[in-house]
Amino acid sequence: MNREKRREIFERLRANNPNPTTELNYRTPFELLIAVILSAQATDVGVNKATGPLFERHNTPESLLALGEEGLKDYIKTIGLYNSKAKNIIKTCEQLLERHEGRVPDNRADLEALPGVGRKTANVVLNTAFGQPTMAVDTHIFRVANRTGLARGKTVLEVEKKLLRYIPEEFLQDAHHWLILHGRYVCTARSPKCGDCIICDLCEYKHKTAECP
């Protein structure tokens, strides 16, 4: 895919949704961090149902640490892998208090040192909470990047690096959100909605449906 096509794709995505953001509910960087940890192999809708009651009472490292692992499980037991997630979250709260004065760090190294925080989670927090132009490649973005020809790669890291290199700088801050929303609602894994796609004519997908303009 050439530079002009890539620019046009993001021009259209921006025109369609000028202020994209995460669908996870949060008010502080700490709430976002916890929500993203919980979102692994879970839906944003499911996470929001759990974090709504949780954050009303426990939305600081101190409060969650006082709640304890078993208490936390009562709030998040509807979410997959809740046992390991509860354990990681409590350990993360401990480290935030011991090493960062209770604040969420704004750099990759410190974020990835927290239990339950990998590269993708760190990228989401850096981008959404701190406004850094990172690219958190999940299954949706991986699919969209490969299917459209925007940035093909065999691994998540390869796709991430290509997207950061290929996407024009002015779009980098919001590109993560545009691509994940496009993959979640339009360029779906099964039966992509090509007829509803605003970038269909720019897409290099070999199996576009007849409804594609």
Query: What are 29-45's pLDDT values in tens digits?
Result: 999 999 999 998 899 99
Give residue 176's pLDDT band: very low, low, confident or very high (50, 70, 90). Answer: very high
- Spatial neighbors of 154 by CB under 8 A, at least 6 apart, are none
Stated pTM of the model:
0.90
pLDDT score, position 167:
95
Choosing from 104, 128, 152, the residue where a domain stops is 128
Average pLDDT for 157-178: 95
The answer to whether residue 49 scores a pLDDT higher than 80 is: yes
Same domain, 15 and 75: no
Average pLDDT for 158-176: 95
Task: Please state, for a pLDDT cut of 90, what percent of the chain lies above it.
Answer: 92
Q: Is residue 140 part of a domain?
A: yes
Same domain, 117 and 59: yes
User: Which of the residues are catalytic?
Assistant: 120, 138
Average pLDDT for 14-43: 95
Give residue 1's pLDDT band: very low, low, confident or very high (50, 70, 90). Answer: confident
CATH number, domain containing residue 35: 1.10.340.30
Residue numbers of the domain that contains 159: 3-20+135-202
The answer to whether residue 205 scores a pLDDT higher than 90 is: no
Same domain, 73 and 16: no
Task: Please state, for a pLDDT cut of 70, what percent of the chain lies above it.
Answer: 97
pLDDT score, position 151:
96
Same domain, 45 and 123: yes
| Cα(117)–Cα(132) distance, integer angstroms | 17
Same domain, 98 and 47: yes
pLDDT score, position 177:
95
Average pLDDT for 11-15: 97
Q: Is residue 211 part of a domain?
A: no
Task: Compute the chain's Rg from CA coordinates.
Answer: 18
CATH number, domain containing residue 187: 1.10.1670.10
Same domain, 124 and 41: yes
Give residue 143's pLDDT band: very low, low, confident or very high (50, 70, 90). Answer: very high
pLDDT score, position 213:
59
Residue 91 and residue 69 in contact, taking contact as beta carbons nearer than 8 Å: no
Task: Output 162 or 213, whichever has higher pLDDT.
Answer: 162
Dihedral sign from CA coordinates of 78, 80, 84, 89: negative
pLDDT score, position 37:
97
Same domain, 144 and 163: yes
Same domain, 121 and 161: no
The per-residue b/e assignment along 27-39, b for 16 or more CB within 10 angstroms, e otherwise, is eebbbbbbbbbbb
Q: How many domains does the chain have?
A: 2
Residue 175 and residue 167 in contact, taking contact as beta carbons nearer than 8 Å: yes
The answer to whether residue 211 scores a pLDDT higher than 90 is: no
pLDDT score, position 208:
65
